Each structure stands twice: as structure tokens, then as C-alpha cells.
Structure 1
Amino acid sequence: MNQGLKILRILPFKVAACTSQIRPYAFKSNLKIKWVRPAKIPCFKPEKSGDLEGFPQVDKNQIRDEFKHCKGLDTANELVKKLFTYEYAPRRFTVAHVVNKTAEKVKRHNNDFGSHEVIIAKWTGVIRAWQEVMERFPRNKRLKVHLKELIDKRKKYLRYLRRWDYKRFEWLLENLNLSYKPMPLDVHWVTRKDSLRKLTDKYCDQLKKDKLDELKLLLEAQQPAFLEEKIRVLEFIQDEERDCGIEPTISQEEIDNVKKQLAELQMKIEDSREQELSEMDK
């Protein structure tokens, strides 16, 4: 009975030792490759939404839009005028001012309030205002949901406008300082295994390139000696054929071409050395 209990206690360790030897996924590479998972960008961030600029700064000392044509403010006290500026107004009035200014950039005419361009411009102003709030209060979940829905709605309208009138679509992006990022046709998830495969292929390609570059430098260093030996051999063959009274198979022009090639190579080596010395002096 005691022997049976001892066998049962030892058996799991033996099974674990056997399985650990045949696990292919436990293989650890010796290559100096480190992969770090890319940081996830939230959907409300400007990098993801396509907004290339943030909420603009409004001059707090200017009179609010609804009181600009008020004649009573012309003769009012400076303190009274200050009460009608954006400095003492709630934030929603500043946001409304920015939204109207953004819509005026893309209006077709003065009474244009419902075109696609104006709607997208107004949404852009609201999105940038909400993004500024989200930077200060990143845990506001309700605003985060509303912001994501508005960004998706704007992207849908931009997709429609891109399909209907591409020139106006490009003009709108330029005026609103936006970048349109359509959904990819083939969604490829970022995984550690696939990324390590790509990094390994890149490492192997770079290793091959480095080895080939080293071999190329080695052969280029041996090239002058090879050309000198070639000239010596060609001249020897030419002299032997002349002494034996045989029609020469090697012409003097061929030897001169090799000598010219050797001279050009030596000049190139000297120029590279001078350049290296000048760089070291700097």
C-alpha cells in the first residue's frame, strides 16, 4: 500500500518531466530580438479620430456673438462690457462660438445650415471640445461613449461624401484639417507570434546583408593584388608565345585595359582614404 502511494506521488513529476521535453512552444530563441506590444490608442484620441488640431483658443476679452450688435454696450461701463465677454460666460457659449466659426469655413452661402459640409464641420467643433474635456477627465465614461458615437457618425458622413464628390471631400479635409482613415479591407490582429516571425525574418535578412557586405569589402581589398597578378600572368603568356613563334592570343590592348582598371581602382582607394581622414579630423 505504501509503495503504491509512493508511485502515485512520483508519477506526476515523471509525466511533467516528459511533457516538458516535447513542448515546442516552450522553445526560447537565442536571437537578440525583443518585441514590445504596441500601446493601444483609445478611440477618442485625435490620433485615432483623424483630427490634426485641437480645440482652438478663444479670445476671452471679445464680446459674445449674441451681444455684438447691442447698441447699449457702446456707452456702457468697461466693467459691464466685461460681463458680456467669454471670460464670464459658461463654457457652452465658447463651444458654440467655435462650432459656428468652424462651420463658416465650409458654408456654401450665408444661409447654408444643412449641407453635409456644415454638419461635418459642426460635429468636428463639438468633437474637439469633447476631446479637450476627455483629456482632463479620462474616466468620464458617458462622455466617452457620446464622443465615440459622434466620431463614428462623422466618419460615416465623410465616407458618403468621398463616394459622391471626391473633390469636395478633399477640400473639406483641407479646410477642417482632418485626415480620413477608412477601415482596412483585411483586418490583421497584432499577435506576439506573428510579430516575432517578422522580426526574425528581418533579423536574418539584415544578417545576410552584413555578411555579404563583409565579403564584398574583403574581395575589394584583394582586387588590386589580383589585377597585378593578372597583368603579370598575361605578360608572361604573351612573352612565351612570342618566343615560341606562336600567333599571340593576348593583345597589348587587353593588358593595357587591365592596367587602366588597376590605376582607376588605386585612385578610388586613395580618394576613400583621404575622405576617411578628413572625416576623422572633423
Structure 2
Amino acid sequence: MNSIVNCCKLLAAKASNVHAFGGYLSRGMARTIDDYKIKWVRPVKLPSIDPRQSGDLGLNVSVKPTDMKVLYDKSKELQDADEIVKRMFTLEFQPRRETKNLERERVIALVKRHICDRASAEVKIAAMTTEIQYLQKHIDEQRRNTKLRVFLKELIDKRKKFLKFLRRWDYKRFEWILERLNLIYVPQPKIAGKVSRKDALRRLTKDYCDGIIQQKLNIFRAQLKEQQKIFFAQKVKNLEYILAEEKKYGLHPTVSEEEIDIARKKAEEILKETV
């Protein structure tokens, strides 16, 4: 008979637990991961050379075909030359690398410290950024070029090391160069390795259970607040009654007005917190 009563009490406790906590299953009722309200979707894997993975949003420089190649715009001989001769030294009639060189010089001019700066961390990051974004556009035309993909990945990792160094030693300059070069710093993931369903479900289950525990603690904390409100209100009444009775019969008071005021203030504070 006692075993039947205990089983009924256990089932009633589990049913009340499910009702009280929004349909959550109590301990012992869940058998598989499908019993919990957990859904895991495999994240989309992006290659390391993808602009969304490397953090390149595009450079804020413009290079036109009518621009002169690097260093030739300052030539005194070309200033007095014929228009046809000048046109021969524009990017329209030069190899593609000259366009990249001019773009690199203009990007470096955005971050260099002085006119002769060629070795600072900012200049190196700017030069690598120009090369990275050029190769990211070029690799769409040559998707099977494995050597180019490996070189691009190594260059992205090298730039990330420079950004990590700059972030550690001069954070203001680090933020400034990200703004100037229109970059997003993508740090290494905290949990290294490939994404697996088993590990992800373990973390999701842990977060799910922590949420249930926190919800129960919040309900228990609210119940304690209600009990404290009743307790301190009753305490004020009892202390006032004791003090009045001791004064009535001429006894030495064991309760002071200060203790009553402290209890009254505590009751008011708890009442304000619960409102």
C-alpha cells in the first residue's frame, strides 16, 4: 500500500513540475536528445580566404584607367610631353600589376606615419590588405589554382598576426587602422577544432539545463522575497507590541525604537523591490 502511495506522489510531483516550468521534463523522464526542446543546425562552413571570413569589406580608394603609373606623375619630362606620350604611361596601356601597385601606394598613404614610412606595422598591414583583396578577386577567375589559394591563406594569417600584435600593444591605433582600411577583426575561435554535432549538442544541452536551473532559482528567490515581506511586516508589529507592553507594566525595555525603525525600513525596501 505504501509503495502505491509513493508512486502516486512521485507522478504527481513530476506532473506539477511539468506544469510549473512551462512543459519542461523533470529528471528521469527524458531519454534522448529529442525529448528536450533543442535544435541544432550545422553552421555554414566558409573558406578562410572568403572576404566574410577574413573581414575585408573593401578598400576606400579609387584607381582610374586615366591615372599615371606609380612615380611617373611627378616626372617633369612628362609634364611637357605630348598628350599621346602621356597616355602611353597611363594605367590603360600598362600591365595589371601597375594598377595594383598604384592602389597599394594609395592605401599605404592612408595609414603611413610620415612620407618615408615603409616599415611600420600599419604600412605592412595596408600592403597585405591590398594584396589580399586583389587575390580574392583574382581567385574567382582561377578557382583551381591551389598554389594561389595557399598563398592567400598564408597572407591572411600573417596579417592577422600583425593585427593581433597591434591590438595588444596599441588598441587605439588598432581601432583606427580597422576604420581606415574598412576591416573587421576576426579572432581565432575560443574552442579550436572542427564543428561536430556531438560537442555542439553537449554545449546546447548544458545551456538548456542551466536555463532550467536558473528559472527555478528565480522562482525560489521570488518566493523568499514574499516570505521576507510578510516576516518583516509581522516583526514590526511584534516589536511594537512588546515595547508597548513593557512600557505599560513598567518593565525594563528589551526592544528599542531603533530596532523597530530598522525592521520597518527593511520591510519598505523589500516592498519596493517586489513592486
Is residue 63–residue 85 contact of structure 1 (8 Å, CA) maintained in 2? yes
For the residues of structure 2 that align with 1:241 and 1:160, how far apart are their CA atoms? 79
Match of 2:96 in 1: 91
Q: Structure 1's 195 and 80: CA in aligned 2 closer, same or farther, altered over 3 A? A: same
Q: Quote the offset at 1:149 in angstroms.
A: 1.9
Q: Quote the offset at 1:172 in angstroms.
A: 9.6
Question: Alignment RMSD, CA only?
Answer: 4.8
What percentage of aligned pairs have identical amino acids?
31
Matches within 5 A, 1:219-234: 219-234=224-239
* 103-112 vs 67-76, which moves further: 103-112
Is residue 125–residue 163 contact of structure 2 (8 Å, CA) maintained in 1? no
For the residues of structure 1 that align with 2:243 and 2:174, how far apart are their CA atoms? 79
When normalised by structure 2's length, the TM-score is 0.59
For the residues of structure 2 that align with 1:173 and 1:225, how far apart are their CA atoms? 54
Q: Quote the offset at 1:62 in angstroms.
A: 2.1
Q: Structure 1's 233 and 162: CA in aligned 2 closer, same or farther, altered over 3 A? A: closer
Say yes or no: does 1:216 pair with 2:221: yes
When normalised by structure 1's length, the TM-score is 0.58
Q: Deviations over 1:49-94 (max 9, x none)?
A: 46564484313332333753374665645x8856654356553331
For the residues of structure 2 that align with 1:260 and 1:160, how far apart are their CA atoms? 58
Is residue 61–residue 107 contact of structure 2 (8 Å, CA) maintained in 1? no
Is residue 227–residue 262 contact of structure 1 (8 Å, CA) maintained in 2? yes
Is residue 67–residue 84 contact of structure 1 (8 Å, CA) maintained in 2? yes
Say yes or no: does 1:259 pair with 2:264: yes
Is residue 135–residue 152 contact of structure 2 (8 Å, CA) maintained in 1? no
Q: Structure 1's 222 and 45: CA in aligned 2 closer, same or farther, altered over 3 A? A: same
Could you tell me which runs of 5 or more consecutive residues in structure 1 were left unpaired when the two chains were aligned.
1-25, 274-282
Between the two proteins, the alignment pairs up a number of residues equal to 236
For the residues of structure 2 that align with 1:91 and 1:126, how far apart are their CA atoms? 13
For the residues of structure 2 that align with 1:233 and 1:247, how far apart are their CA atoms? 17
Is residue 70–residue 101 contact of structure 2 (8 Å, CA) maintained in 1? no
Is residue 106–residue 172 contact of structure 1 (8 Å, CA) maintained in 2? no
Matches within 5 A, 1:1-282: 27-49=32-54, 51=56, 53-54=58-59, 56-65=61-70, 67-68=72-73, 69=75, 71=77, 74=80, 76-77=82-83, 84-87=89-92, 89-102=94-107, 122-134=127-139, 137=140, 140-142=143-145, 145-152=147-154, 155=157, 177=181, 187-241=192-246, 247-265=252-270, 268=272
For the residues of structure 2 that align with 1:46 and 1:116, how far apart are their CA atoms? 25
Larger Rg: 1
Q: Structure 1's 97 and 214: CA in aligned 2 closer, same or farther, altered over 3 A? A: same
Could you tell me which runs of 5 or more consecutive residues in structure 2 were left unpaired when the two chains were aligned.
1-30
